[in-house]
């Protein structure tokens, strides 16, 4: 709650993966510390608890390494400075701890460690799993053991906080803060904690490698700390009850709120963001400030969002925090968890004393991806699409991937598969992808399927998403040489396939299956108030769905490739033969010769783009028919259309069938979103719930993988195949990070001739493909002219 500057120092282990379960050289030899918590209270309930430990050092240490974690969340201060937030979101069976060197923050003489621990309790976010309130700090060696958590730590519950459910309970409670109850400056060394109680030792820490049963087992963090940086609001869009003064938004001066006034300020960030808003105020004893956050405003009559830039006849509707002021000087209010917003409305009810707002800004936070890739082209509008798409991907990546940052903050396989490809191509950072693959594996249920989303305390199973988990592992295998990691999932891949194989019927298709067989959100498959009935195609409830069957075929083929690569020939052959059998029977039963396309069931009464897309991707449709089929379904508006999510697969099918040059003209849905003022891409076409949804960021990947044509030609990206698909573009260029270095390309086309400048990492080889001509590529730079002039 004080003015916070983050100095993040995390050490030693960030490139480790959890899967191999090899000994962690940075872990303590043994855990002498205890999990601690408040005494004589439920450790399951909502609460914000403050912990402190005073200790003395004879001299300032060069290094002072500790391992720390908490349940649910913690923030650690050293001598009044905030140094780290955590822990990495996980589940109790794989509970993460951070390792940090506190040396830069310590001094000779008296030192104070202070940590708040926050448990969301009964209103816990769906993505937050938990055992019970607790704090754990373990010195790495005897030199640091002086700070080990035990009964010598002091604790106090911060009674200033009351949880607010607001509109959207899925992401957990928002904050109501009573300033008069807050123990201001509690984290500072000068604070007197002699009235605080001793903490209770609640349980022993158990490392993951231990065979001992425990409700919570410890593993080291395997992703970097999140990015956090200050950002400023762009402008005030509307002011009621006062003349607008924007100086406080720039930090150049205060805004004064008179006593006895009610003021409303609508503030615009100009683009969607995920951040911790920070409000610095003085005075205003007894005043109430409500901060409401929204992705967009809604029309006062229709409730629709319309153009996101327009505010006329629109109001804000969303989740909110409430701050009840104590009238003191320079109070800083910052929520416990980050907020998602483009618009923030401050409603200030100031009754007694003048109020000064010194500053209002926010600290952006997201996974610390670095944008290493680039894309440019002769169509300048694609630069905006790249910017908006990458922002979408960034805001949907935190300590896990997320479907959306405002409404759910849950890691779903369907979204994550697309997000992970974007991550690989734009940043080259595969750590969050590996973490996601592992977390979905950890979620596997006895029947063999993974959960559809994880971590999540609200259990949900979507069988098609378990199949996309296999696809995701196949993606990783193609882009990274990491055999031990991939091989560790082969048995679980078999489990997913075996679950589906139990439902193969005599007709050679999948019969009726349990759980939620979600595919997409077209208008024909709407939300019906119950998961199992929503977003599903014909045949999903009765059996013989060609869509579900062909997605299984695609996963069988990908799994067979993985198994064959690792010497599992028997299973690879079995799954390959099963894929052939199912694809042949589905084609025979569902191909409609009059419409020349696959139907959604053997009844041939319903048709969709989806089944024909999967028919191409799984090679259930003869290759010589694929291109013509795709051209038909693209213009046939009588069949169910792929929405933004499934257009990713529509585009991949076009590329596979040799129609990648049509990709740029197929970007109409994304152009429509930009025309409506969206600064991130939405969940589905208007009207949409979420304005920022991970699966809609796919053009960022396709600009590099489809337009520039950069793809792995062999597993581990050990060679590259570059097949540019410029379509109407006169030129395009792009850079893609590769494990060996940067792949750089620039193409121009004229009269059927391609001019290419390509630079590969020195040891990477591959080929350039253009109009059925193949040119070998070597490491380093090469200038190529391919093709003949059309006369």
The per-residue pLDDT for range 497-547, each reduced to its tens digit, is 999 999 999 999 999 999 999 999 999 999 999 999 999 999 999 999 999
Residue 112 · residue 79 · CB < 8 Å: yes
- Same domain? For 560 and 636 the reply is yes
Distance CA 404, CA 418 (A): 13
In order, the DSSP letters of 711-739 are EESSGGG-EEEE----TT-SEEEEEEEET
Closest Cα partner for 452 from 407, 410, 401, 502? 410
Q: What is the pLDDT of residue 168?
A: 77
Tokens of 366: 């997201």
- Same domain? For 314 and 418 the reply is no
Distance CA 251, CA 360 (A): 8
Domain C-terminal end among 187, 221, 255:
221
**Taking residues 557-579, what's their average pLDDT?**
98
**How, if at all, do strands 731-738 and 741-750 pair?**
antiparallel
**Taking residues 238-266, what's their average pLDDT?**
95
Kindly state whether residue 192 falls inside one of the protein's structural domains.
Answer: yes
CB atoms within 10 A of CB 631: 14
- Same domain? For 213 and 252 the reply is no
SS3 271: strand
- Same domain? For 319 and 405 the reply is no
Closest Cα partner for 391 from 212, 172, 181, 231? 231
**Taking residues 708-733, what's their average pLDDT?**
98
Task: Give the CATH number of the domain where residue 719 resides.
Answer: 2.60.420.10
Kindly state whether residue 11 falls inside one of the protein's structural domains.
Answer: no
Q: What is the pLDDT of residue 321?
A: 97
Domain C-terminal end among 707, 732, 762:
707
Distance CA 482, CA 397 (A): 23
Q: Left if phi > 0, otherwise alpha if psi is -120 to 50, otherwise beta: which for 187?
A: alpha
Residue 756 · residue 724 · CB < 8 Å: yes
**Taking residues 460-485, what's their average pLDDT?**
98
Q: What is the pLDDT of residue 634?
A: 97
Helices first, then strands: H and E counts in the chain: 14, 37
Q: What is the pLDDT of residue 169?
A: 84
Name the residue range of residue 216's domain: 35-171+179-221
Q: What is the pLDDT of residue 244?
A: 85
- What is the number of alpha carbons within 13 Å of residue 149 lying toward its C-beta? 29
Kindly state whether residue 201 falls inside one of the protein's structural domains.
Answer: yes
107-162: pLDDT as tens digits: 999 999 999 999 999 999 999 999 999 999 999 999 999 999 999 999 999 999 99
pLDDT at 670 over 90: yes
Q: What is the pTM of this model?
A: 0.95
74-89: pLDDT as tens digits: 999 999 999 999 999 9
Kindly state whether residue 22 falls inside one of the protein's structural domains.
Answer: no
Closest Cα partner for 697 from 439, 398, 395? 395
Which range is least confidently modeled, 3-17, 95-109, 395-409, 607-621?
Answer: 3-17
Q: What is the pLDDT of residue 783?
A: 98
Q: What is the pLDDT of residue 502?
A: 98
- Same domain? For 692 and 727 the reply is no
- Same domain? For 732 and 664 the reply is no
Tokens of 540: 């999903």
Kindly state whether residue 4 falls inside one of the protein's structural domains.
Answer: no
Residue 387 · residue 674 · CB < 8 Å: no
pLDDT band at 791 (very low <50, low <70, confident <90, very high): very low
* Mean pLDDT of all residues belonging to the chain: 95
Kindly state whether residue 133 falls inside one of the protein's structural domains.
Answer: yes
**Taking residues 674-680, what's their average pLDDT?**
98
- Same domain? For 474 and 554 the reply is yes
Looking at the structure of the chain, the number of domains it has is 4
Task: Give the CATH number of the domain where residue 334 resides.
Answer: 2.60.120.260
Residue 382 · residue 731 · CB < 8 Å: no
Residue 718 has phi, psi (to 5 degrees) of -70, -15
**Taking residues 552-577, what's their average pLDDT?**
98
156-187: pLDDT as tens digits: 999 999 999 877 789 999 999 999 999 999 99
- Same domain? For 578 and 479 the reply is yes
Kindly state whether residue 2 falls inside one of the protein's structural domains.
Answer: no
Q: Which residues contact 516 (CB under 8 A, 6 or more apart)?
A: 452, 460, 461, 462, 531, 532, 534, 536
Kindly state whether residue 15 falls inside one of the protein's structural domains.
Answer: no
391-442: pLDDT as tens digits: 999 999 999 999 999 999 999 999 999 999 999 999 999 999 999 999 999 9
pLDDT at 7 over 90: no
pLDDT band at 25 (very low <50, low <70, confident <90, very high): low
**Taking residues 473-487, what's their average pLDDT?**
98
Task: Give the CATH number of the domain where residue 388 resides.
Answer: 1.50.10.10
């Amino acid at each position: 709650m004080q003015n916070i500057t983050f100095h993040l120092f995390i050490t030693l282990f960030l490139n480790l993966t959890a899967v191999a379960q090899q000994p962690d050289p940075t872990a303590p030899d043994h855990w002498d510390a205890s999990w601690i918590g408040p005494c004589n209270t439920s450790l399951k309930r909502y609460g914000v608890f403050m912990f402190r430990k005073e200790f003395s050092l004879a001299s300032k240490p060069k290094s002072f390494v500790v391992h720390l974690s908490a349940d649910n969340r913690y923030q650690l201060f050293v001598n009044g400075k905030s140094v780290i937030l955590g822990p990495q979101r996980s589940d109790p069976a794989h509970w993460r701890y951070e390792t940090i060197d506190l040396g830069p923050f310590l001094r000779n003489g008296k030192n104070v460690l202070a940590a708040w621990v926050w448990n969301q309790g009964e209103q816990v976010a769906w993505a937050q799993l938990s055992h019970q309130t607790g704090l754990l700090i373990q010195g790495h060696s005897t030199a640091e053991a002086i700070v080990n958590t035990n009964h010598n730590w002091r604790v106090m519950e911060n009674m200033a906080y009351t949880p607010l459910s607001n509109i959207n309970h899925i992401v957990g409670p928002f904050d109501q803060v009573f300033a008069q109850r807050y123990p201001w400056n509690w984290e500072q060394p000068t604070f007197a904690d002699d009235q605080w109680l001793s903490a209770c030792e609640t349980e022993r820490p158990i490392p993951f490698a231990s065979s001992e049963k425990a409700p919570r087992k410890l593993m080291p963090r395997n992703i970097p700390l999140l990015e956090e940086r200050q950002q400023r609001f762009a402008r005030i869009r509307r002011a009621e009850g006062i003349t607008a003064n924007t100086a406080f938004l720039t930090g150049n001066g205060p805004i004064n709120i008179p006593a006895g006034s009610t003021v409303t300020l609508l503030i615009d960030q100009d683009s969607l963001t995920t951040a911790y808003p920070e409000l610095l105020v003085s005075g205003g004893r007894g005043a109430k400030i409500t901060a409401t956050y929204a992705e967009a405003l809604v029309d006062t009559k229709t409730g629709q969002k319309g153009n996101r830039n327009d505010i006329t006849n629109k109001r804000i509707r969303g989740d909110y925090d409430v701050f009840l002021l104590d009238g003191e000087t320079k109070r800083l209010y910052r929520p416990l968890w980050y907020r998602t917003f483009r618009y923030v409305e401050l409603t200030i009810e100031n009754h007694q004393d003048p109020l000064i707002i010194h500053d209002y800004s926010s600290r952006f936070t997201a996974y610390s991806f670095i944008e290493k890739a680039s894309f440019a082209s002769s169509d300048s509008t694609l630069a905006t699409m790249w910017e908006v798409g990458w922002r979408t991907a960034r805001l949907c990546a935190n300590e896990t991937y997320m479907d959306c940052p405002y409404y759910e903050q849950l890691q779903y396989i369907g979204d994550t598969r697309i997000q992970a490809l974007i991550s690989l191509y734009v940043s080259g950072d595969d750590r969050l992808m590996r973490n996601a693959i592992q977390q979905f594996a950890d979620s596997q249920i006895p029947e063999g399927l993974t959960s559809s989303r994880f971590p999540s305390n609200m259990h949900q199973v979507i069988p098609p998403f378990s199949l996309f988990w296999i696809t995701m592992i196949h993606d990783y295998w193609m882009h990274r040489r990491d055999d031990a990691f991939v091989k560790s999932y082969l048995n679980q891949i078999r489990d997913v396939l075996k679950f589906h194989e139990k439902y193969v019927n005599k007709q050679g298709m999948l019969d009726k299956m349990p759980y939620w067989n979600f595919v997409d959100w077209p208008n024909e498959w709407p939300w019906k108030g119950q998961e199992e009935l929503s977003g599903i195609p014909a045949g999903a409830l009765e059996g013989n769905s060609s869509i579900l069957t062909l997605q299984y075929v695609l996963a069988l083929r990908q799994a067979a490739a993985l198994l064959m690569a690792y010497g599992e020939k028997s299973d690879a052959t079995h799954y390959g033969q099963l894929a052939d059998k199912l694809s042949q029977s589905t084609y025979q039963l569902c191909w409609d010769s009059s419409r020349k396309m696959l139907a959604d069931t053997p009844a041939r009464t319903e048709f969709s783009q989806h089944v024909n897309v999967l028919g191409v991707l799984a090679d259930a449709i003869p290759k010589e028919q694929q291109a013509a089929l795709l051209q038909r379904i693209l213009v046939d508006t009588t069949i169910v259309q792929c929405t933004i999510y499934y257009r990713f697969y529509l585009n991949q099918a076009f590329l596979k069938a040799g129609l990648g040059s049509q990709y740029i003209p197929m970007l109409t849905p994304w152009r429509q979103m930009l025309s409506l003022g969206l600064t991130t891409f939405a969940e589905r076409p208007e009207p949409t719930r979420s304005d920022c949804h991970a699966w809609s960021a796919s053009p960022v990947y396709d600009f590099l993988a489809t337009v520039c044509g950069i793809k792995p030609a062999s597993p581990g990206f050990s060679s590259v195949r570059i097949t540019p698909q410029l379509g109407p573009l006169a030129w395009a260029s792009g850079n893609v990070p590769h494990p060996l270095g940067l792949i750089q390309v620039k193409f121009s086309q004229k009269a059927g001739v391609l001019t290419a400048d390509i630079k590969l990492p020195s040891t990477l080889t591959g080929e350039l493909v253009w109009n059925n001509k193949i040119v070998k590529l070597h490491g380093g730079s090469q200038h190529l002219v391919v093709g003949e002039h059309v006369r």
